[in-house]
């Protein structure tokens, strides 16, 4: 298993500003994922972040809006840039420890973002 922490846990931001969310894992992992959970909806994968390479973004998400860093095997950041009220969501990071043939993902507690 893996224990994941996120900072901040919640924030209220003004339109047009940017927020960087941090994700810390208690063990080294190759793959980290960033998800968005909009109010009343399921999780949508934003991007996959592997250490030492560029993040891979899903359809509908671009690097200019959601830049991601992955400086080492235990840490990643997601920035939500030039925010608008539509960016109000819960942002979750998760990891795939890759310990077995069909290992699952472990999630952080999420960052609750409200954009005014």
Among 11-19, 37-45, 72-80, 81-89, the segment contacting other proteins (CB under 8 A): 37-45
Half-sphere exposure of 79 (CA within 13 A, CB side): 12
Region of 98 please: left (phi>0), alpha (psi -120 to 50) or beta: left
Query: Shortest approach of other proteins to residue 63 CB, angstroms?
Result: 18
Spatial contact of 105 and 1, defined as CB atoms under 8 Å apart: no
Contacts with other proteins, 56-75, as mask; x by CB under 8 A: --------------------
Binding-site ranges for other proteins (CB under 8 A): 6, 31, 41-43, 45, 48, 92, 94, 96, 101-110
């Amino acid at each position: 298993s893996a224990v994941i922490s996120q900072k901040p846990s919640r924030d209220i931001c003004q339109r047009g500003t940017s927020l960087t969310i941090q994700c810390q894992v208690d063990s080294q992992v190759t793959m980290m994922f960033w998800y968005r959970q909009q109010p009343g909806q399921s999780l949508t994968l934003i991007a996959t972040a592997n250490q030492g390479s560029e993040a891979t973004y899903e359809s509908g998400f671009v690097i200019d809006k959601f830049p991601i860093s992955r400086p080492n095997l235990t840490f990643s950041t997601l920035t939500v840039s030039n925010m608008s009220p539509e960016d109000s969501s819960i942002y979750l990071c998760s990891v795939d420890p890759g310990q077995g043939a069909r290992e699952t993902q472990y999630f952080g507690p999420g960052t609750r973002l409200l954009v005014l």
